[in-house]
Amino acid sequence: MSKRDFGQLVDRDASRVLLTNENFLENFRKPRFYRNAKVALSWISDLSDDPLSIVLFTRSQPDYIESMYMQRLHLGESIAFDEASVKYANLNMSWASILDDVSDVLGRESVTSIPYEAVKRVGATGYYRAFLAACGVDGTTYEIPAEMETSRSANRSYSGEAMKLALAINPLIPRQKRKVFRKYLQENYSTATHPKAELFSEAERATILELYAEENLRLFVEHMPDWREDAAAYGVSTT
C-alpha cells in the first residue's frame, strides 16, 4: 500500500484502523523484530492529526520464535523449525528497546504493553478487558463465554502431532485447500487436546532468556510495572 493510499484510508470519516504486527510492523518470513516500527509509526503520524495509540503484546523470546514458526505452518507452509528459527539468531529481540522506539514517536502515555503470558493468570476475560482498557473502552462488564474458550473450533495452536501432519501434508495439497486442513488440525490436534510441540530444548530456552535477562528486567520495570507477576516467564524476577 502506498503512502497516498494509506493516507486516504486514515482520512475516512469516523475511520479507525487496526494494524497487526504480522501485516505492518513485522514480516515473520523475513523477520527484523519490529526494527521498522519507529519509522513506520512516524510515517503514519504524519498522515493524520488524529491521536495515535499502540497496544503491543509481548511474549518471551523463545516462545515468540516458536509462535512465529507455528504461524507459518498454520498458513500452509512446510519449513523445518531450525531453518525458520535461525533467522532470529542475529536479531536484537529486546521488547524494551522496541517500546523505547515507539514511545519516542508517540509519547509514553500513548503506548500500552501487555505480556501474552498474563492470560494464564488473569483468564481470557480479564485479559480482554485489559486490552479494551488500553483502547479507552470500558470493558468491566464484558465476559467471554466459557464455551468460546473451550470450543473445538477456536483458533488454537498446533500440537506436536499437528505439526508433524502439517509438515508432511501441506506440500501435497493445493494451497487453496490448506485452510480446510488447518481447521481440521485445529479442531482435532490442537494443544487443547494434545501435547504441545517440542521445539526449543529447555537448555536452549534458558540460553535465550539469559541473553535477554537485563533487557527483560528493564521491560517489566520501565514499561510493564503493572504486570510484574508475569516476569518469571521471561526469566527474570522483579521482587
Q: Establish if 213 belongs to a structural domain.
A: yes
Q: Is residue 239 part of a domain?
A: no
Q: How many helices (H) and strands (E) does the chain have?
A: 11, 2
In the DSSP assignment, the letter for residue 57 is E
Dihedral sign from CA coordinates of 38, 28, 32, 130: positive
* Banded model confidence at residue 13, pLDDT cuts 50, 70, 90: low
Q: Measured between alpha carbons, how far is 127 from 116 in angstroms, rounded to an integer?
A: 9
Whether residue 102 lies inside any domain: the answer is: yes
Q: How many domains does the chain have?
A: 1
Q: What is the pLDDT of residues 71-112, one digit of tens each?
A: 999 999 999 999 999 999 999 999 999 999 999 999 999 999
Least confident piece of the model among 15-19, 52-56, 145-149? 15-19
Handedness of CA 198, 203, 206, 207 (dihedral sign): negative
Q: What is the pLDDT of residue 77?
A: 93
132 closest CA partner among 161, 112, 116: 112
The domain of 40 spans 3-234
- The answer to whether residue 190 sits within a structural domain is yes
For residue 184, tell me if it sits in a domain: yes
Direct distance between the N- and C-terminal alpha carbons of the chain, in angstroms, rounded to an integer: 46
Q: What angle do CA 132, 114, 67 make, to 5 degrees?
A: 110
Hey, what's the cell of 170? 501441506
Pure H helices in the chain: 3-10, 37-45, 61-74, 81-85, 95-106, 119-134, 146-150, 160-169, 178-188, 202-211, 213-218
Tens-digit pLDDT profile for residues 118-157: 999 999 899 999 998 988 888 888 888 776 665 555 568 8
What pLDDT sits at residue 25?
82
- Tell me, yes or no, whether 69 lies in a domain: yes
List Cβ neighbours of 20 (8 Å cut-off, separation of 6 or more): none
pTM, full prediction: 0.88
Domain-embedded: residue 24 = yes
Q: Assess if residue 125 is contained within a domain.
A: yes
Q: Report the percentage of the chain scoring pLDDT > 90.
A: 64
pLDDT (0 to 100) of residue 22: 66
Farthest CA pair distance, the chain: 53
